[in-house]
Amino acid sequence: MQTVFNRIAIFGVGLIGGSFALALKKSGAVRQIVGVGRSRTSLETAQQLGIIDHIADSVEEAVAGSDLIMIAAPVAQTESILRAIVPFLNAKTIVTDAGSTKADVVLAARAALGNKIAQFVPAHPIAGRELNGPEAALTDLYVCKKVVITRLPENTNDDVAAVAWAWQQCGAIIHQLNPAQHDAVFAAVSHLPHLLAYALVDDVARKPHADTLFQYAASGFRDFTRIAGSSPEMWRDITLANRVAMLEELDSYTARLAILREHLVQADGAAIEDIYSNAQKARHNWISAIEAAEKQQREGGD
């Protein structure tokens, strides 16, 4: 059984790092949280909001006295953050992350940490929203949400258990995948949908009559494009980091669109309805499965 963390350092105190901090504080799983970031103003906001107890004056100060380090910055920052950390890393300190992609993060960690790689336990909370920064952080963001740990062969069971325990204190449910499986899954159900939402809003916004279109856009457009309100920097990094898997999903989706387009050219209502019905049935089944799992979770079953 893991004991309470004495001190956790969070690199990137935004939505994800901030929500992790708030949830751990609420559960009593940590004594002190230290924030490190690239924007002083944002760290001061995090401190005023009670998310972090202290703003680190240096990476050395943040790292040397912490038993857990969480990296919750855009994924392309991972290698430079780890390179800054490594000279001060104690043998017992565990480093983890919350990045939305995993194969690139593991490569970055191997390059930066070298023979300290066993101390890095990669993870990804499957929870979030389209808002960013410490103001968007929520204490309950991770309650009943999945966290995927993509453990490395070098990780010890104790270190993986400690990271899992921290997320469980936030209310999360732990899953495990390998990094390639992880990136293939999230290319399909998270990364591609974000690209599509951005593309649709960009397309509409560039039309000469965009104002009229936005004036009449209703809740369907709002639902479909909510995630296009997300951080462009974060999603640029995810898109580039997972480009191979995303290209595969984009090709598959483009092929489906081409089929649908041909049915439209042919005014083939039966074929269009067949695709729509298949999608409607699959979505209903998916929602029912989620609701059943949530009910079981609420009722404490397993």
Ligand X SMILES: O=C(O)C(=O)Cc1ccc(O)cc1
Ligand Y SMILES: NC(=O)C1=CN([C@@H]2O[C@H](COP(=O)(O)OP(=O)(O)OC[C@H]3O[C@@H](n4cnc5c(N)ncnc54)[C@H](O)[C@@H]3O)[C@@H](O)[C@H]2O)C=CC1
Q: Which is nearer to ligand X, 190 or 297 (CB)?
A: 190
Determine, following the binding rule CB under 6 A, whether residue 227 of this chain makes contact with ligand X.
yes
CA distances from 195 to 63, 223, 292 (A): 35, 15, 29
Q: Which is nearer to ligand X, 116 or 194 (CB)?
A: 194
Q: Which is nearer to ligand Y, 38 or 261 (CB)?
A: 38
**Residue 268 carries which side chain, given as an amino acid letter?**
D
- Nearest distance in Å: CB 14, ligand Y: 2
Q: Which is nearer to ligand X, 129 or 243 (CB)?
A: 129
Choose which of 126, 136, 161, 200 interacts with ligand X (CB under 6 A).
126
**Residue 35 carries which side chain, given as an amino acid letter?**
G
Q: Which is nearer to ligand X, 93 or 150 (CB)?
A: 150
190 binds, among ligand Y, ligand X, none (CB under 5 to 8 A by kind): ligand X
Q: Which is nearer to ligand Y, 193 or 263 (CB)?
A: 193
Binding mask 77-116 for ligand X (x = CB under 6 A): -----------------------x----------------
Determine, following the binding rule CB under 6 A, whether residue 129 of this chain makes contact with ligand X.
yes
Question: 197-209 burial string, b = 16+ CB within 10 Å, else e?
Answer: bbeebeeeeeeee
d(CA 38, CA 13): 10
- Contacting residues for 56 by C-beta, under 8 A, at least 6 apart: 9, 34, 35, 36, 62
CA distances from 88 to 61, 62, 82, 84, 85 (A): 9, 9, 10, 8, 6
- Nearest distance in Å: CB 289, ligand Y: 21
Footprint on this chain of ligand Y (rule: CB under 6 A): 11-17, 36-39, 42, 72-75, 77, 81, 98-100, 124-125, 128-129, 132-133, 231, 234, 238
**Residue 301 carries which side chain, given as an amino acid letter?**
G
148 binds, among ligand Y, ligand X, none (CB under 5 to 8 A by kind): none
- Give the distance from CA 272 to its chain's centroid: 34
- Contacting residues for 65 by C-beta, under 8 A, at least 6 apart: 7
| Positions that interact with ligand X (CB under 6 A) | 100, 126, 128-130, 190, 227
